[in-house]
Amino acid sequence: MNSAEAARRFLAQLRLQEQAFDGTAVIDEALVRRGAEWYLRQAMTPDEFNNDNFHTLADEWISNGVDTVDNFWDTHFAPVMQQIEGAANTLFAGLGLEENRPIIGHMATGNLNAVTMPVPGDPGSYLVVMEDEVISFAAFTCTVIAGTVPHGPAEQDKITLTLGASKVEERIAANSKLVDRFTELVLRYAVIGNLRGVQLPTLSPGRLRLSEMLITAVDHFVVGHEYAHVLMGHLDDADVRKGLPPIPDVESVVYSWMQEADADLLGASLAMVAVKQHDYATGLAGICIFFGMLDVMERAVSLLQTGAEDSRQLGTHPPASIRKQFLYEGLPRLTGGDPRVAEQLKTALEVADSFAEIIDLLWDRIKPIVVGLHAQGVSAAHKWRTIPKKVEPERDGSVSLRG
C-alpha cells in the first residue's frame, strides 16, 4: 500500500469515528449536486443557467464520474494542485514534490482551517483534512462579494470596479438582497452547520467573471499554504497533539505562528505564480476575502457561544486579522528589489483592502442579528470546535489567551 492509499484508508476510518463520536452522518448527495450545479453555472450565461435543460446537464455531469463527494473534491483540487506544483517547480528547481505531495481530504472538522494529521503506520505520510463545506462557503462568499462591488459601465463580460467604502455602502443600501444573502450564508453555516438551501444572487456576466477569479484565487491560496508547509520543512519539527479534530484520540500537527505566517507568504507567492492570467490585485483580493470569511465565522460562532465576538476562535491558527498583518509585512520580500513589482503590489494591496472593507461592512449589518439570536438562546452548531481567542505571542514565544 502506497502513502496515498494509506492516507485515504485513514481518512475513511476517521469519518466512521467522527460519525460515531458526533452522532452525525456525512450527506454526500447534496454536496455532489451543489458542486455539479456550481461548476456548470460558471460556464453558462444567466439565460443558459435558467434554461429547463440545466438540471438534465447536471445529471449527465454527475453520471460521467463525479458521483461521490470524494470524486467531487478530487475533480476540484486536482488541477489546483497541479498548478501549485508547477509554480513550486518554477520558484524552486528539483523539489521532488511527487514523493512529498500532501494528500487532501475532507470531513466535518469543525475548523475552517485545514488540519494536518500523521498517517498511522506510514512514517512521513500526512493527511491534510479540510472542513467539508469550507470550499463551498468560500465560493458562495466570493459570489456575494462580487455582487456587492460597485462598478462603472459594463462592456460585454467585463466591468470596471469602483472601489471605496462610500460606494460600497451606497450599493448595499440600494440592494438589501445582498445583505440578506450574506446573512443567510453566515447564519446557516454558524447555526445549522451546513449550507444546504442557501440562495445566491444572480450575477451579470461581468460580476460572474469576477467571482470566478476570486474563487480561483482562494482555492490556490488554500492549497498553496499547505504545500508551503511541506516545502519549508515545517512537518519535520512541528508539534503533534491529540484532540484537535472532532475525534479526541487522533493526533494533529500544530504549527507555530511564525510557521503559519511563513506558509501564508509562500502560499500567496505560489498562488499568484500558479494563476498567471490573474494580476496581483485579484490574487491578494481573494486571499483577503478568505481571511475575511474566517474572521466573520469566528466572530459569529464566538458570539453565539459566549455573547462576545472576540472570546473564542476556530482552531489553533493565528486569528485571521493577525495572519493578514503578517502577510502584508512580508509581501515586500516578494518584490526582489524590483520597483515595478513593488508598485504593482502596492496597488494590489489597495484593491485587496477595499474587498476586505466590503466584508467588514456586511458583518456590521448582520452582527446585531447574531447578537439577537444569542439573546434568544440560539447557539452555534455543535460541529464548531473553538478554543480561547489567541492574542499576540509573548516575547518568549508562548501565546497568551483570552476567555
73-110: per-residue pLDDT in tens? Answer: 777 788 888 899 888 888 887 666 666 677 888 888 88
Which pLDDT score, from 0 to 100, does residue 403 have?
Answer: 35
Say if residue 293's pLDDT is above 50: yes
Q: How far apart are CA 294 and CA 242, in angstroms?
A: 23
Burial 369-393 (b: 16+ CB within 10 A, else e): ebeebbeeeeebbebbbbeebbeee
- Where is average pLDDT lowest: 165-169, 219-223, 265-269? 165-169
In 304-359 the beta strands, taken as DSSP E runs, fall at: 312-314
CA 58 to chain centre: 25
Three-class secondary structure of residue 200 per DSSP? coil
Say if residue 309's pLDDT is above 90: yes
Say if residue 49's pLDDT is above 60: no
pLDDT class for 305, splitting at 50, 70, 90? Answer: very high
Rg over CA atoms, the chain? 21
pLDDT class for 261, splitting at 50, 70, 90? Answer: very high
pTM for this prediction: 0.84
pLDDT class for 27, splitting at 50, 70, 90? Answer: very low
Sheet containing strand 103-107, strands side by side? 103-107, 126-131, 115-118
pLDDT digits (tens, 9 = 90+) for 129-167: 888 888 889 988 998 888 887 766 555 455 566 666 677
Which pLDDT score, from 0 to 100, does residue 218 have?
Answer: 92
Which pLDDT score, from 0 to 100, does residue 191 have?
Answer: 94
Which pLDDT score, from 0 to 100, does residue 400 have?
Answer: 36
Say if residue 40's pLDDT is above 70: no
Residue 216 near residue 275, CB atoms below 8 Å? yes
Nearest residue to 105 via CA among 29, 14, 217: 14
Say if residue 382's pLDDT is above 90: no
Q: How far apart are CA 365 and CA 126, in angstroms?
A: 41
Which pLDDT score, from 0 to 100, does residue 64 have?
Answer: 56
Say if residue 213's pLDDT is above 90: no
Which pLDDT score, from 0 to 100, does residue 187 have?
Answer: 94
pLDDT class for 259, splitting at 50, 70, 90? Answer: very high
Residue 153 near residue 160, CB atoms below 8 Å? yes
Which pLDDT score, from 0 to 100, does residue 41 have?
Answer: 60
Q: Where are the alpha helices (DSSP H) in 133-164?
A: 134-148
Q: Is the dihedral of CA 344, 347, 351, 357 positive or negative?
A: positive
Q: Is the dihedral of CA 60, 66, 72, 76 positive or negative?
A: negative
pLDDT mean over 181-197 = 89
Which pLDDT score, from 0 to 100, does residue 304 have?
Answer: 96
> What are the CA-CA distances from residue 11 to residues 104, 118, 173 (Å)?
10, 11, 46
Say if residue 8's pLDDT is above 60: yes
Q: Which cell is 154 given? A: 459594463
Say if residue 25's pLDDT is above 50: no
Cα separation of the two ends of the chain? 45
Strand partners, 22: none
Which pLDDT score, from 0 to 100, does residue 371 have?
Answer: 96
Which pLDDT score, from 0 to 100, does residue 54 have?
Answer: 62
Which pLDDT score, from 0 to 100, does residue 246 have?
Answer: 62
- Going by C-beta distance under 8 Å and a sequence separation of 6 or more, which residues neighbour residue 227? 81, 84, 85, 88, 97, 102, 267, 270
Give the CA-trace dihedral at 286, 290, 292, 295, to 10 degrees.
-170
Q: How far apart are CA 383 and CA 183, in angstroms?
A: 20
Say if residue 396's pLDDT is above 90: no
pLDDT mean over 257-274 = 91
- Where is average pLDDT lowest: 26-30, 161-165, 212-216, 360-364? 26-30
Which pLDDT score, from 0 to 100, does residue 24 have?
Answer: 46
pLDDT class for 11, splitting at 50, 70, 90? Answer: confident
Say if residue 373's pLDDT is above 90: yes
CA 372 to chain centre: 27
Which pLDDT score, from 0 to 100, does residue 134 have?
Answer: 87
Which pLDDT score, from 0 to 100, does residue 30 have?
Answer: 56
Say if residue 402's pLDDT is above 50: no
pLDDT class for 207, splitting at 50, 70, 90? Answer: confident
Say if residue 395's pLDDT is above 80: no
pLDDT class for 375, splitting at 50, 70, 90? Answer: very high
Residue 270 near residue 84, CB atoms below 8 Å? yes
